[in-house]
Chain A
Amino acid sequence: MTTRPLQAAAAQRAGLADSATVRMTLLALSAAMMFADLALIFLWAPTEQVMGVVQRIFYFHVPEAWVGFLAFGVVFIASIGYLVTGKRKWDVAGHSAAEIGVLFTTLMLITGSIWAKPVWGVWWTWDPRLTTSLILWLLYVGYLMLRAYAPTPAKAARYSAIMGVIGFIDVPIVYFSVVWWRNIHPELIIGPAAPRDALDPRMLVTLIFSVFTFTVLFVYLLWERMSLRNAEDEVKALRQGE
């Protein structure tokens, strides 16, 4: 009779040990890659001739955009998973990925503005990609607000899963509509917008490495956020059990 709880506790400890190993591995890998990435970006990659040093923000901006899309893709799959199966793990994954996605989309918008100011002469233009990114950001801030304001955790999970599906399907439609919208009102060319020639090989290598680095960082953050969310739920369950 007494062995069963003991076994359960042992199994749980083993599970914790496993997750600790995965966590440390991911943390070490993403830290090591991030240092290497910084070295590539600031020491190895050549300075762009027209834009100068500010162009190095490119190696942060593009990977942030990629991680944002990747995260929202994970939200989409997790949302479908939740709506079909109703299993909690899908909700945990979707919720965690949405938070990370909003974080990286925010960083993408900020670094983009910082880059645009010296290069285009303005902080913002209603270019299709910029507009779509902004709407993307608004969609998933709405997703997080919906979770926060939902009456019960079960409703938060269902509602946000619906938003996770609708939002992701909406993004390509938004993009098309904005492209056509901007074609009707031709954009003013402001500042010395550099022509997009083929990238220097070193720039390309740095960019690709940076994208990989940020992807590993995303996996690590997702892992951390999901285990945090599990811990939060456990605390809630314990409190209710009192």
Chain B
Amino acid sequence: MRDFLLPIMTIAWKDVLLELRTKDVVTSVLMFALLAMVTFNFAFDPSPAVIALVAPGILWVAFTFAGILGFNRSFTLEKENGSLDGLLLCPVSRDVIYFGKLLGVFTFMLVMEAVLLPFFAVLYNLPVLDLKLLLLAALATLGFAGVGTLFSAMAVNTRSREIMLPVLLLPVASPVVIAAVESTRAILEGAPWGEIGRWWGLLIAFDMIFLIVSSFVFGSTLEE
């Protein structure tokens, strides 16, 4: 177990450390997500009734697009500096590399969401700092990052790579977006557990299925 977890943590820590030193992606992605939230405000009438209806959607669209920017960077950096070859030379299996990269972007997205949620709460005047909502964000982000990591490893090698990732990821992750938006709405409305629970079931199923399948097929993306 230790042999499996330690390399994963090391690869993820490498990405986190790189980000801590440069702060390239965090700054730009946070600004982008903030601007998305502000821009949506102009698209909809910001009255309390309308806000209650559209706010969950705004939140998750901002997270989704910000996440895509972050995933794109995750493998672009590896490719630009040829460090992917170094990663491949590590004496670890390919699924360890997958889980390491996944843990890196997952951490990145969680940090980004933790910073954005208070802004969202203030801008839209909503009580979003709720334990259930934080758990939900973690579940949805895990599934999203799970397929996102797999697809960004492929998209980074294609022509027009910036557009390739959302084209692949958004349809595949549509259940995550639907489940996240619907259960955010239910939580904000104070709905009972029964209504939230099935969305969580869906998210857990999505996370498990795609983490397992992605870790199996990830090795094929790295072969020359």
Chain A residues with CB under 8 A of B158: 146, 149-151, 159
A138: chain B residues within 8 A (beta carbon): 170-171
Evaluate contact between B172 and A139: CB separation under 8 angstroms. Answer: yes
Query: Are A135 and B164 interface neighbours, CB within 8 A?
Result: no
A167 part of interface (Cβ distance < 8 Å): yes
B35 at interface, CB cutoff 8 A: no
**How far, in whole Å, are A184 and B164 apart by their CA atoms in the complex?**
32
B168 at the interface (CB under 8 A from A): yes
Roughly how many angstroms separate A138 CA and B147 CA in the complex, as a whole number? 16
Residues in B whose Cβ lies below 8 Å from that of A159: 154, 157-158, 221
* Residues A146 and B178 in contact, CB atoms below 8 Å apart: no
CB of B199 within 8 Å of the partner chain: yes
When distances are taken between beta carbons in the complex, the residues of chain B under 8 Å from A162 are: 150, 154, 217, 220-221
Smallest CB-CB separation from A181: which chain B residue?
A: B178
Residues of A within 8 A of B39 (CB): none
**In the docked arrangement, what's the CA distance between A184 and B185, Å?**
11
Distance (whole angstroms) from the CB of A126 to the closest CB of chain B = 11
Contact between chains at A146 and B209 (CB < 8 Å): no
Q: Is B223 an interface residue (CB 8 A)?
A: yes
**Would A177 and B213 be within 8 Å (CB), given that A146-B154, A161-B220, A162-B154 are in contact?**
no
Q: Please, how many residues of chain B have a CB less than 8 angstroms from a CB on the other chain?
A: 31
Chain B: interface secondary structure?
helix
Chain A interface mostly: helix
Tally of contact residues, A, Cβ under 8 A = 30
Question: Could you give, for residues 166-179 of chain A, a 1 whenever the CB lies within 8 Å of some chain B CB and a 0 otherwise?
Answer: 11011001101110
A142-B167, A145-B167, A181-B182 given as contacts; is B217 within 8 A of A165 (CB)?
yes
B172 touches A166 (CB 8 A): yes
- On chain B, the residues within 8 Å of A150 by CB distance are 157-158
Judging by beta carbons under 8 Å apart, are A158 and B223 in contact? Answer: yes
Residue of B nearest to A155 (CB): B157
Give every chain A residue within 8 A of B199 (Cβ-Cβ): 180
**Contact present for B157 and A184 (CB under 8 Å):** no
Residues of A within 8 A of B223 (CB): 158
The answer to whether B182 and A163 touch across the interface, beta carbons within 8 angstroms, is: no
Given contacts A146-B154, A162-B217, contact A177 B179 (CB under 8 A): yes
Asked whether, in the complex, the Cβ of A169 is within 8 Å of the Cβ of B209, the reply is yes
A177, B168: Cβ atoms closer than 8 Å: no
Given contacts A83-B217, A180-B198, 20 further A-B contacts (CB under 8 A): A145-B164, A149-B158, A150-B157, A151-B159, A158-B220, A159-B154, A159-B158, A162-B150, A165-B213, A166-B213, A167-B172, A169-B210, A170-B172, A173-B205, A173-B206, A174-B171, A174-B175, A180-B178, A180-B199, A181-B182
